Structures are given as structure tokens and as C-alpha cells.
Structure 1
């Protein structure tokens, strides 16, 4: 289920309607949670783990970019809900692979361009003009993975980083030229977790190859041999976070790894909350984990062992599972459950 996006005035969530045949993105008023407008697109199909949009809405200037699991992308005026332009990225760029989990990458703005990953042979990764939806460049390649891309300056080169179905890669943000590719030691990763920039290095986690930290040369090309590896942290869908020189991630338990000591495990915690999917966010001193149960678990990131600072239950016992990533605006956090969204005020 796609994550929540929010500003100080608006909150955006995705949903399905009409017997699971229509994507709907709702814009709610941050002041009271009432719906300001909804954008609906017919989207018929049958995907594993449901048909709801996987991508988190992107808010850029006065536009919202909404991407459904069947490839429908729309640019919407935030204040009015009026569609500026719309297209289906898979149809437009001739993507022919079978997507059992659908289109999962969240739209990204890089170098003023809107980046999406249709996975077409001649357009595996595409940069669009965010004002018009017209292509700026198209990068050929293989079908995409099931994760999102990031943009960062690595090795002195501003690039887009993410996975296709088989490899980790970097693309020049200005031209779309592929700069490098890394094929993992073990095949078969679904490539869902988002890569994380740590200084001038890149942290990557997948279910078959664990956690790996990569360095770059002065030309922006990755060294394919990791500088550090941890084989125990192997999430299939969860993206870890970095806080104060430590990596916090979940795979059947919560792991805390030391970035300065080759991803050495400092401790782990096997509480029930960490037995399945979790979303996580972090500052330098705190980590907030949101498991499927809908609890908000605040951790001390600097503690020598597992240390909870607080825990709040966001939803009742009937909650079917929290899978959407939360959104933060100021001191507010927005948490999406199976059929509702709730706003909490965070105390200092």
C-alpha cells in the first residue's frame, strides 16, 4: 500500500473503489481530515497482495504526482484537484513484462525532471517534463525492480540510483546515460528496499544478499566490491534507516548495526512487533518504528542496547495491517491503516 504524503495544508492517501476497479487518490485537509478532492482512474486487474497503488504521492511545487499500481500517472493541481496531464507509463513506453506486484516505484524529482521507471526495453527509466508529461530522455534497459529510486551526488556525479529486475544501477540525471551496474552475488532478489545514501557511500539491503555498503570512485562509478557486508539483515520489503552512525533494520527481528565497524551487529531485539513488515524513520538520536500492528514505537538510537522511549497504539484490535509509510509535517505524524488514517501530535 502506497505511503502517505503531506504538507502543512494537505494530506494525500491512495485507495480503491467500485469493487476494486478504480484507483482513487484522496486529498484531505490537514486541519480537520475532511476530503478536499479525489482523483479517480479506472484500473482493472489482479495483482498479488491487492490492487491498491504502491507508490507514495509526490508533492512538487503546486502539483501532486499520483502513480497507480497499473501504471496510471497523473499530474494534479494540489489546490483544485484539476488534472493537468495524465498517461499510463507502461502503455506509453511499451513495457511488456508481467508485473505480479504492479508498478511500485514512487515518482522522483531529479535535476528538475520527473523520474519514473516504466521498465520498457527502450525506456526502462524515463525523465519527464513535470509540467507537461513529455519525455526529456529515455534510458533503455531491462524490466524494473519493485523498489523506488533516489537521486544523489556520489563520486562527484549527480545520479539516479535504484534497481532493475537483476542489477543495482546508476544513471546520469541530466542525460539518462547508465553509469554503472552491479549484479549481486546471489540472484532472485525482488529489489524492494530503497537504497540509502550514507555520506559518500551507498547502503543497499535485499533478501538474498543482505546489507552491503558500497564506495564510489571519482568518476561517480561504484566499486562493485562492498566495503562492508552484513548477512543477517535481509529485508524483503522493509527499508532500513540510519541514525547516528548506526543502521536500524527489521527482518524477523530488529537489528542495530555499526556503520563505522563494517556493519557489525551491536544488538538485536526479537519482540513480536518486529516479526513482520515495519516502516521506520529516524533522526540522529531517535528511531520511530511502525509495525503492521499499528503501534508507534520510539527508540533511543544511541543506547548500548534496545531501549524504548515510548509506545502508542494508533489503531484498534480490528486493524488488518499497517503497510503504508507514515508522513511527517512539523510535529505531526500521519499514519494510514487498512481503512483509515490518523494524525498524532508529537511531543518534544
Structure 2
């Protein structure tokens, strides 16, 4: 009863906060004409729609996030007009125009030479696949980087920079071009943050609704998704926003819990949005809307999936697979793992063998060789491999094996050449043969943590301390060095490590650390 009353109080406070600041509509685009004397501006949206606005004298006006005068605004800059439910303008925000050439100052810019240089990519370009979303370009948790150090004892990571001022939260990072993206907090709000990958300087921030508060840590849990020139970010209270990747201007926003009649989960929405073609996939866990597909251009509904039992959201993020001739989205909800037809939202199959009733967190892993899904959870549960096959009306899902060995909480897993690697509660790194479910080896020296894979090695980040380099080796545990992150916060180090552009990124609450991990 106590937890229910606390949740009710939180919802009530959130409702009060939202009702006092809600903006019924947002119009964003490029300035076509501007009159400083009349405070009038014509804006053209990315869909080609033009609209004229007269900005009242008492409305807050900002340029690049700071208070501004109309004289600063020029044609070509990005502008956003916020209006209330009565159609009244409540805010007017303008950001610098995007330069047409790398390193070229934008219209109205007064950049110094140092600032201009910081916008130019130094050294090699990032790998073509990059790291544009949670768990990497194809959500396999594998980086396509090569030429990385294979022995940290002889060639240890070099700290390049530390970004500060990110606030609270457990978001990891995504990266494209010269900017990387994460989420944090500022004051009582959650924020989306863009950071210069070469310097660690914050390029822009955007507010994304009230801050989620919880005894396991405040702030957002998910990682922004990059798709072309847009960023999609989902906050812990269900606030979903589409932003310009260059300057943070808003294209559209909505709250998926409110729109799809869903309740927030105990430790906050943690899913990172999935972009597949024109569809944005997320899992609000609402009535008749366990999973939904939205049009990424404007957030409008394409379909919603009515999964039997209306399971609430879990803490995992969806993946895309093709099996049985059907493209589908697979995610781990509060009730179990499920497959949803990509074209229609039709539920195809489900399995609850490796689900617990507390928190299902780790993303499912597709084992393509066996056309199977492996998923696992903590709290004394374990993992299961589900064999998928074509059926007359969809997809058959049959349990291949269950193992109590892989009790993966929220650190994630990775499959390489038919072997699965991941940390199992209470703190054991385990390698499992997915052909038969047998544990090949296990090691306790680093402890429970999150991992990723790059250039034949696992990057294992302990939630309590060290970061270790371990061979992808199905025969034995072979560690190639470790180090302790400086300036550790008092919170568990839960954000997943990311390896891209020859660098290792480690988020720890207010800090983001960038290491050079290339072979030297």
C-alpha cells in the first residue's frame, strides 16, 4: 500500500506540473522572413508548410538557449513556436542555422577560429555503421571498429576528455558525425544533450519534461536514437521528442503513457526508441497498445498492437528480425518476450519462461544461425532460447532450452559465433554455447556489469568499479587488462559502455568520459 500511495502521489504531482506547463502545439522550421520592428516571423516546416507568427512582447524569446532580441534573427535560422491549448504563443526559440559545409560558420554566427576547428572531424571518420542507437547500429551490441588495442597492460586507454554538467540519469550515448547524444537532468527537468565528440563541450541541450525521481536514481534511463538529421529521445516519464540533430529544435513531441492509456513502471520508462524505415517503435504497455508504431516524421499513429493480457512495459528495448518470411519487432515486456508483425502490429508469438514479475530489463538477442531468440532476466530467474519457425498463420515459437546460469539483470548480452556472453547475478561473467545451452566458462574477477563487443574483445564495465578488456574466447576467460574510472559517482555504473570512432565512452551520472582505445 505504501508503494502504491507513493506512486499515486508522484502521478498527482506530475499531473500538476504538466498541466501548468503543457503546450498544445509546436511549430518548428526554417525562418523565411523576419521583421524585428513588428516581431513577425514566417517559418517553413520540414514538410513544406509556411506559417506567419506575431510574437507578443511578453513572450520569452531565446537564441541558442539564451535570452535574445529580434535583431539577432536572420533568414535560414531554425525557429520553434510553442502555443498553449488556447492557441496563445507561450515561447519562441531560435537556433543558429546549420552550416552547409563542415567547419563553415552559419549565418549570423560569430564563432572564433578555435570554435570553428572544433566542428571539424579530426582524424579518421567514424566507421560507416557508427553507433546511432542503443546497442549499436543493428542493436547486436557489437561495434564495427577495428585497429583497437588488444592489450591494456601494454597499451592502456588514454583519457582524452571529461564532459561535466550532464546531471543525473543512466543514459548511455549515441554518435553520428561530430556530435554524440545522451540524456540527463537540469534543475527539475530531464534534458537531451548534444556533445562535441572532439572536445567534450556541450553543443546544445533541450528540456524533455519533468524529472523522474526514484530511490534507485533520478533522471532518464534510455539512450537517444539518431536517424539522419533527427534525434528521437524517450524520457523516464514517457515524454517522446523528435529533435533536429544539429541544433536541438523540436519537430514534434508527445507523452506515450498519456496517449496510449498506460501507467509508468516502478523504475521509469527505460526503452530506447527503435527507428525502422518510416516507423518509430516503442512499447508504452497501454490498454490495447502494448507496442505502437508511430510515423517518425510527425509522431502520428500507424498501428498499435493489442497483445493478449495487455502486459505493461518492461525495461528493455526492441529489436528487428526477419524470420518465417515475416519482419517483426521483438521486445521483453513485464509479462515475457513477444514478437509483433512489423507491417500491421499483429501479435505473432510470446514466451514467459525467462521472465520474472519484478523487472525484465535486458534486450532480447537474435541468434540468426538457429533462427532463435535468447532472452534472460535477473531476480533468480535465468535465460531461455526460443526457436522460431514459419507457420501457416504466422510464426511458431518453441522453447529450445532454459538455463538458470544466465541471470542477466540489465547489463546486456552479446552473441558471437554461436556463443553468448553476459554477466549473471550475483556477479559472474558467463559464456554459454547457444547450440545446447551449456555453460562453457564463468569468471567472477570483474563482477556484475554491462558489456559491449568490439574488435574481438568484450568491454566489461563493473557496476561497482573496474573496466576490463576480455577476449571473445569460447574456450576460456582471458583478461587483457583493466582500469578504474576516475571521479566515480556514488551511484552504480549502469550505463552501457560504447566503443566507436576509436574511442570508449563511459557515462557516470554528471560525467561522460572519453578514452582513446586505438592500438598505438
Q: Deviations over 1:230-254 (max 9, x none)?
A: 2111122221112233211112211
Q: Relative to structure 1, is the Cα distance of residues 213 and 186 closer, same or farther in structure 2, using a 3 angstrom cutoff?
A: closer
Match of 1:240 in 2: 413
Structure 1 CA distance, aligned partners of 2:227 and 2:428? 36
Correspondence 1:175-194 to 2 at 5 A: 175-184=344-353, 187-188=356-357, 190-194=359-363
Q: Relative to structure 1, is the Cα distance of residues 241 and 101 closer, same or farther in structure 2, using a 3 angstrom cutoff?
A: same
Aligned-pair CA distance for 1:189: 5.0
* Alignment check: 8 A CA contact 1:111 1:173 kept: no
Match of 1:140 in 2: 306
**312-321 vs 279-288, greater mean Cα deviation:** 312-321
Aligned-pair CA distance for 1:317: 5.5
Aligned-pair CA distance for 1:305: 2.1
Aligned-pair CA distance for 1:45: 4.8
Correspondence 1:49-128 to 2 at 5 A: 49-95=216-262, 97-128=263-294
What TM-score, normalized to structure 1? 0.91
* Alignment check: 8 A CA contact 1:279 1:323 kept: yes
Q: Deviations over 1:105-135 (max 9, x none)?
A: 1100124300011111022211111111111
| Root mean square deviation, CA, Å | 2.0
Structure 1 CA distance, aligned partners of 2:461 and 2:212? 29
Corresponding residue SS for 1:281: strand
Corresponding residue SS for 1:216: strand
Aligned-pair CA distance for 1:62: 0.5
1:308 aligns with 2:479: yes
Aligned-pair CA distance for 1:310: 2.3
Q: Deviations over 1:227-282 (max 9, x none)?
A: 2322111122221112233211112211111223x1211111112x31x3x11112
Structure 1 CA distance, aligned partners of 2:256 and 2:234? 9
Higher RCO (CA-CA < 8 Å; seq separation 6+): 2
Q: Relative to structure 1, is the Cα distance of residues 144 and 312 closer, same or farther in structure 2, using a 3 angstrom cutoff?
A: same
List gaps (5 residues or longer) in structure 1: none
Correspondence 1:184-333 to 2 at 5 A: 184=353, 187-188=356-357, 190-199=359-368, 200-207=371-378, 208-219=380-391, 221-225=395-399, 227-251=400-424, 252-260=427-435, 262-271=436-445, 273-274=446-447, 276=448, 278-283=449-454, 285-302=456-473, 304-316=475-487, 320-333=491-504
Corresponding residue SS for 2:258: helix
Corresponding residue SS for 1:248: strand
Q: Relative to structure 1, is the Cα distance of residues 222 and 314 closer, same or farther in structure 2, using a 3 angstrom cutoff?
A: farther
**40-49 vs 322-331, greater mean Cα deviation:** 40-49
Q: Relative to structure 1, is the Cα distance of residues 312 and 130 closer, same or farther in structure 2, using a 3 angstrom cutoff?
A: same
The structure with the larger Rg is: 2
* Alignment check: 8 A CA contact 1:230 1:263 kept: yes
* Alignment check: 8 A CA contact 1:241 1:282 kept: yes
What TM-score, normalized to structure 2? 0.62
* Alignment check: 8 A CA contact 2:238 2:256 kept: yes
Q: Relative to structure 1, is the Cα distance of residues 50 and 319 closer, same or farther in structure 2, using a 3 angstrom cutoff?
A: closer
Instruction: Flag the structure with higher helix content.
Output: 2
Q: Relative to structure 1, is the Cα distance of residues 86 and 98 closer, same or farther in structure 2, using a 3 angstrom cutoff?
A: closer
Aligned-pair CA distance for 1:57: 0.5
